[in-house]
C-alpha cells in the first residue's frame, strides 16, 4: 500500500458532496448539481485540494453503472414497449440535428478561409462529439423528482440508450471517411452492435430464468442483490471490451433483464444504498474534478461557449421537435428535449478517438469538458423547472 491518501479524498468528496448537495436543495436546485459543484470546489478548478486519480475514476465508473443499473431495474416494461418506436425516432433525429449544427458552428468559426482539406470532416467530427447524450445525470434528476418511470421518463431513457448505439455508428462512419476503409469498418461496427444485442437478449433470457429460480428458492437473501450486481458489472465489461458499446449501456440492460423479479425492490434497495453511500457521489464530484481553467484563450473560450450553447439547443430542437412531431404534448416534448441535453463521458471518449485519428485538436478538450460540466448543471435545473410549472 503506497499510502492512504485515497481515504482523505473519499472523506472530503463524500462529505463535500453531501453538504453542497443539501445547500443546492435549499436553493431549489437538484442535489446532483450541488455534488458536481463540490467537485469543482475541491478539485483543480478552484481549491486544488483533490486531484483526480485512477482510483477515483474507477469508483466514479462504478457509481454511474449503479445509477444506470437502477434505472434499468425500475423500467416499466409495458411503458417501454409502448414508447419504444417513438424513442428510436427521437434518438435518430437527436443524433442527426446535433451533427449538422455542430459541423455548422465549427465551419463558421474555423472553416472560413481555411486551407485544410479535412475541414468539413473536422466539423462533422465536432458534430459527432455532441451527438451522444449521457443520460445518467438526467436519470438521477428524474429519480429525485420521482418521474423516472412515466411515459416521458421512459422515452428519455430509451432514446438515450438507442442514441448511444447510433452515436457509435456515426463515430465509425466519420472516422472511416478519414481513414479510407469505409464500408468494412462500418459493416463490422454494425455487426458488433447487432451481435451485442443478440447476446444481451439471449443471455438475458437465461439469466432472467436463473434469477427467478434463485429468487423463489431464497427470497430476500444477500445472494440475490450480489449476483445481480455482478451481472451488471459483467455485462458492462463485455459491452465495452468486446463490442465497443458503453459499459453503462450494459449496466442499464442488466437492470432491464432483472426488472420483473419479485425481489426487484430488494435488489434496488441494496444497490441504491451502496450507491448513495459511496459510489454515486464520486461520479458526480468526478465531473467537477475533471475541470480546470488553465489552457483557455479568448477565441477558444468564445468557441466553447457557442459550442456548448449549440450542443444544448441541438438536442432540444432535435429530440424535442421530433417528440412533438410524434404526438407528444408540447410540454412533454420540451421535457424530453431538455432531458436529452446532458452530455458525459461518452463525449470525452469520442473526443479522444478523434484526437487519435487526427480529426480533433487537443485544445478542443476544454470545450468538451465545459460542455459536460455546464450541461450536467443546467439539465437538472431546467428539468426541475419544467416539471414544476
Judged by CB under 8 A, the residue of 20, 69, 231, 252 near a second copy is: 231
**In the complex, least distance from residue 73 CB atom to a second copy, rounded to whole angstroms:** 14
Name the residue with cell 475514476: 57
Does position 273 bind a second copy by CB under 8 A? Answer: yes
Side-chain-facing half-sphere of 58: CA atoms under 13 Å: 6
Judged by CB under 8 A, the residue of 123, 236, 320, 337 near a second copy is: 236
Stretch that binds a second copy, among 127-135, 220-228, 295-303, 328-336 (CB under 8 A): 220-228
Site mask for a second copy (CB under 8 A), range 14-43, x = bound: xx--x---x---------------------
**In the complex, least distance from residue 363 CB atom to a second copy, rounded to whole angstroms:** 21
Contact 271, 67 (CB under 8 A): no
Site for a second copy in 63-92 (CB under 8 A): 65
Q: What is the CA radius of gyration of the chain?
A: 20
Judged by CB under 8 A, the residue of 169, 177, 234, 313 near a second copy is: 234
Site for a second copy in 153-212 (CB under 8 A): none
Side-chain-facing half-sphere of 78: CA atoms under 13 Å: 1
C-alpha cell read off for 279: 459510489
Q: How many residues bind a second copy (CB under 8 A)?
A: 46
**In the complex, least distance from residue 68 CB atom to a second copy, rounded to whole angstroms:** 13
CA gap 219, 226 in Å, rounded? 13
CA gap 348, 307 in Å, rounded? 15
Does position 62 bind a second copy by CB under 8 A? Answer: yes
- C-alpha to C-alpha distances, 32 to 36, 111, 137, 182, nearest whole angstrom: 6, 38, 8, 41
Does position 1 bind a second copy by CB under 8 A? Answer: yes
Helices (H) and strands (E) in the chain, counts: 17, 0
**In the complex, least distance from residue 238 CB atom to a second copy, rounded to whole angstroms:** 8
Distance of CA 182 to the CA centre of its chain: 27
Residues contacting residue 163 through CB under 8 Å, at least 6 positions apart = 91, 94, 95, 131, 132, 133, 340
Give the residues lining the site for a second copy (CB under 8 A): 1-8, 10-12, 14-15, 18, 22, 54-55, 57-58, 61-62, 65, 222-223, 225-227, 229-231, 233-234, 236-237, 240-241, 247, 270-271, 273-274, 276-278, 345, 349
Amino acid at each position: 500500500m503506497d499510502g492512504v491518501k485515497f481515504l482523505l479524498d473519499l472523506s472530503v468528496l463524500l462529505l463535500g458532496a453531501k453538504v453542497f448537495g443539501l445547500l443546492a436543495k435549499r436553493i431549489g436546485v437538484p442535489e446532483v448539481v450541488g455534488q458536481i459543484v463540490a467537485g469543482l470546489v475541491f478539485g483543480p478548478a478552484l481549491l486544488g485540494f483533490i486531484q483526480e486519480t485512477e482510483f477515483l475514476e474507477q469508483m466514479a465508473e462504478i457509481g454511474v453503472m449503479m445509477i444506470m443499473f437502477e434505472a434499468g431495474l425500475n423500467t416499466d416494461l409495458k411503458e417501454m414497449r409502448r414508447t419504444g418506436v417513438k424513442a428510436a425516432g427521437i434518438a435518430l433525429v437527436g443524433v442527426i440535428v446535433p451533427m449538422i449544427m455542430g459541423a455548422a458552428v465549427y465551419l463558421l468559426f474555423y472553416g472560413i478561409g481555411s486551407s485544410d482539406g479535412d475541414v468539413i470532416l473536422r466539423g462533422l467530427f465536432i458534430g459527432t462529439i455532441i451527438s451522444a447524450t449521457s443520460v445518467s445525470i438526467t436519470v438521477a434528476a428524474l429519480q429525485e423528482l420521482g418521474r423516472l418511470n412515466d411515459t416521458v421518463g421512459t422515452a428519455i431513457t430509451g432514446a438515450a440508450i438507442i442514441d448511444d448505439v447510433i452515436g457509435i455508428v456515426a463515430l465509425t462512419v466519420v472516422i472511416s471517411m478519414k481513414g479510407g476503409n469505409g464500408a468494412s469498418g462500418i459493416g463490422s461496427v454494425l455487426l458488433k452492435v447487432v451481435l451485442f444485442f443478440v447476446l444481451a437478449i439471449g443471455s438475458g433470457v437465461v439469466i432472467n430464468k436463473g434469477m427467478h429460480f434463485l429468487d423463489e428458492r431464497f427470497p430476500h437473501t444477500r445472494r440475490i442483490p450480489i449476483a445481480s450486481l455482478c451481472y451488471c458489472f459483467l455485462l458492462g465489461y463485455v459491452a465495452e471490451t468486446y463490442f465497443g458499446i458503453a459499459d453503462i449501456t450494459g449496466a442499464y440492460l442488466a437492470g432491464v433483464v432483472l426488472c420483473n423479479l419479485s425481489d426487484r425492490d430488494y435488489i434496488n434497495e441494496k444497490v441504491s444504498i451502496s450507491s448513495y453511500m459511496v459510489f454515486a457521489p464520486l461520479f458526480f464530484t468526478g465531473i467537477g474534478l475533471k475541470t480546470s481553467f488553465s489552457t483557455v484563450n479568448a477565441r477558444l473560450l468564445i468557441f466553447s461557449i457557442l459550442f456548448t450553447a449549440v450542443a444544448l439547443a441541438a438536442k432540444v430542437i432535435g429530440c424535442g421537435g421530433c417528440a412533438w412531431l410524434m404526438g407528444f404534448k408540447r410540454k412533454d416534448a420540451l421535457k424530453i428535449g431538455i432531458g436529452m441535453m446532458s452530455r458525459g463521458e461518452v463525449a470525452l471518449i469520442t473526443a479522444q478517438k478523434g484526437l487519435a485519428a487526427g480529426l480533433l485538436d487537443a485544445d478542443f478538450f476544454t470545450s468538451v469538458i465545459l460542455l459536460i460540466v455546464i450541461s450536467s448543471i443546467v439539465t437538472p435545473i431546467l428539468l426541475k423547472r419544467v416539471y414544476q410549472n
